[in-house]
Structure 1
């Protein structure tokens, strides 16, 4: 094994090259990226990056790190266009790059809303350039913002727009936002979080047409004929795995690149990040088939696994994980671990009636398979460990009871301390 090629200058791609160099791999490493930018942190682009008064630098590493510390050849600014698994070559522009081991980490790209191509005032948030454009538009005198899609990206953008005192309306085609990601009850709970902050959420509505004047958006016409005036239209209707360049490669592509438990898609070819669809053995009794994740944590983990397996295939290790993601809405932190599958959801701390704070657990096959927390940051990782050990439902409820007792004791201590302080202040007076 002398040459590792990583296609995708993403978090997964960065972790891939860091992992093998950290392990002592002394062969050639080439990192290919479609964008001109060095690998950068994507999650803040729809949150902190939009909200900050000054643009933070989202890059993970500087050029010198790749050239000196990692000894990586960077091929940036041109996407890979073809893969020949028989010849073991990747085509990038007019160049053919040979590999012994290949990691595909090309991620996903934002879905476009039909009829909005080329319209000014229409934005998606996936890349750094997307975020730069939207950040300026939010501060350019526009007052009315319409967000199509009540998923996590759309919700984060809506929250930032409200923090800038803009009028925000979210349009969601489903009757309950996020029902596929976290279930119906929790989807309703997070909708109330929006409403509590003055964001209007319209559900069960379809966008029939985007109206414009001289190439700039001015309104959205809904399926019932209603016209909603808008200055900015943000499209957050999900992402598609970037797999078009793999046509004719012989890889199995089905909402991502299909791989085995070791993230292998073909001899010498491994996948990582948003593009990877693989069987997660931890949930083989819960899910019907392989999973694909668009989470920061799993992308970082998969990048390391895929690269190590690529350079040492005879000792390749299976990858399984308890998915974890977080999302910041307004001043609230939303966290989720596991999967939103099963037959029962139970709120075990707090109250979901007004959007939080609360913690909810998901049950399937009499085991805990997921946990959602809003503004209870210390909770979800406790349950992540239970999920990873395939613990039963009773164990999860026992932990929940223990956590409630601990919280009550802490609250009682704080109350007693406050009372003592008040008494001392009174005595001094």
Structure 2
């Protein structure tokens, strides 16, 4: 490696940060790698937090992303339990919350996202959120014995996963959603309503078009004065990218760290920042495959982006061409016995067609079309139908070609 790249700092010790550190080593970087993590834990897998771990089927050691020996062999300086407090681009220096600083030649920002909160949320002991391992263990303690009334505020993926797990543990569960259907942001109104109906068939009360006024000692108070009584409340109203520590950095921040196609960060005047990249939930970048700017909060993209960011740090130092990250977004969610898989994008004005199976059967494939092209695809309990659609999205298939493919299923 060139002499200019002696130390790379990875800010964030979750999946994207781990993949970045591993890629630096796998690509032959023999300089210093420092990983900063706000949590005291080494990188762990987040999807089980609302499912297997919350249900008590797994313990925390089961969700570690690597065995202890593998973490040690990576030859990384782990700085855990301390968060980043500021970034000085001119001095190439990272400021930490414990008062220390770390100079760098290359930097990968992978600080993820933070839960959105309701006013005065922290003063209520029965109110929970779910983002970290510690969050999951606290909520698990509260619902493990069943018999509680659990109110989940927000019918996104985390909210519905928590609702399903809580119901399976023998709790009464009510989901409160401000939109007209669950999962509108991820699946659109029609398909979101279909998933909501599946929850109701399994004993979850799903209430849409309701507005929360405030939290209450005895539950949740709605606009209009209705009190939804509950002894356990889970707030799942989405996340916000963890960029608060970058406010004075000079980076362009707009619902995330704004980056180009190669994941390289930009200053707020639009100029590219040498050697500074981002990955994971904190990243907003121009996806060249879709021709649109996006920020994605899902496992697969975090893993891939961490690796691409690391390779591009090394490429920039070596004077080589950078790699663009043009990917088909992919996510999955397990709720009760419902396996949801989605490829591509879903927008409110997309044309949606169920092209195989049926909603009533609980197994189906739906396609999303936009401007004459295939835009996305949803599979419910249909992994063999959904996964081949990735090739069509990579090929930027027309809507007609996608429907012709569906006719062969």
Alignment-derived partner of residue 246 in structure 1: 246
Shift of 1:394: 2.1
Q: Offset of 1:70 from its aligned partner?
A: 1.3
Partner of 1:365: 371
Provide the C-alpha distance between the structure 2 equivalents of 1:261 and 1:141, rounded to a whole number of angstroms: 48
Q: Residues of 1 paired with 2:350 and 2:77: CA distance?
A: 49
2:122 pairs with one of 113, 117, 121:
117
CA RMSD in angstroms comes to 1.3
**Secondary structure in structure 2 of the residue aligned to 1:204:** coil
Residue 291 of structure 1: which of 291, 294, 300 is its match?
294
Does the aligned pair in 2 maintain the 1:209–1:222 contact within 8 Å? yes
Match of 1:312 in 2: 315
Larger Rg: 1
**Counterpart for residue 350 of structure 2:** 343
Deviation at 1:184, TM superposition (A): 1.3
TM-score (norm 2): 0.93
* Residue 20 (structure 1) aligns with: 24
Residues 271-310 of structure 1 show CA distances to partners (whole Å, capped at 9, x for unaligned) of 00000000001111xx4xx100000000000000001111
Which of 276, 282, 299 aligns to 2:283? It is 276
Q: Show the 5 A alignment for 1:228-243.
A: 228-243=228-243
1:365 deviation in Å?
1.9
Structure 1 runs of 4+ aligned residues shifted over 6 Å read: none
Which digits, 9 at most, give the CA deviation of each residue in 1:72-128, with x for residues without a partner? 110110101010011101112222111111000000011112132221111100000
What is the CA–CA distance in structure 2 between the aligned matches of 1:387 and 1:338, rounded to whole Å?
7
Partner deviation per Cα, 1:17-38 (whole Å, 9 max, x = no partner): 1111111111111111001100
CA distance in 2, matches of 1:169, 1:343: 30
Structure 2 partner of 1:424: none
1:408 paired residue number: none
Counterpart of 1:137?
Answer: 142
**Does structure 2 conserve the Cα–Cα contact (< 8 Å) formed by 1:4 and 1:311?**
no
Counterpart mapping for 1:5-404 below 5 A: 5-57=9-61, 58-67=63-72, 69-92=73-96, 93-140=98-145, 143-212=148-217, 218-265=218-265, 266-284=273-291, 287=292, 290-313=293-316, 314=319, 315-341=321-347, 343-353=350-360, 356-403=362-409
Query: CA shift at 1:343, angstroms?
Result: 3.4
Shift of 1:142: 5.0
Larger deviation: 102-111 or 185-194? Answer: 185-194
- Secondary structure of 1:159's counterpart equals helix
How far is 1:223 from its partner? Answer: 0.9
CA distance in 2, matches of 1:223, 1:375: 37
Mapped to 1, the partners of 2:58 and 2:15 lie a distance apart of 23
Q: Whole-Å Cα distance in 1 between the matches of residues 166 and 309 of structure 2?
A: 38
Maintained 8 Å contact 2:146/2:169: no
Q: Which moved more, 1:251-260 or 1:88-97?
A: 88-97
- Deviation string, structure 1 residues 151-208 (Cα, Å, up to 9, x no partner): 0000000000111121000000111222222111111111111111010011111111
**Structure 2 counterparts to residues 407-418 of structure 1, below 5 A:** none
Q: Secondary structure at the match of 1:133?
A: helix
Instruction: Check conservation: 1:324, 1:335, Cα contact below 8 A.
Output: yes
Q: Please identify, of 158-167 and 138-147, the stretch whose mean Cα deviation from structure 2 is larger.
A: 138-147
Report the number of matched residues.
392
- Per-residue deviation at 1:384? 1.2
Alpha-carbon deviation of 1:56? Answer: 4.5
- 1:379 Cα deviation from its structure 2 partner: 1.8
**Mapped contact 2:16–2:279 kept (Cα < 8 A):** yes
Unaligned runs of 5+ residues in structure 2 are 266-272
Worse-matched range after superposition: 135-144 or 272-281: 135-144
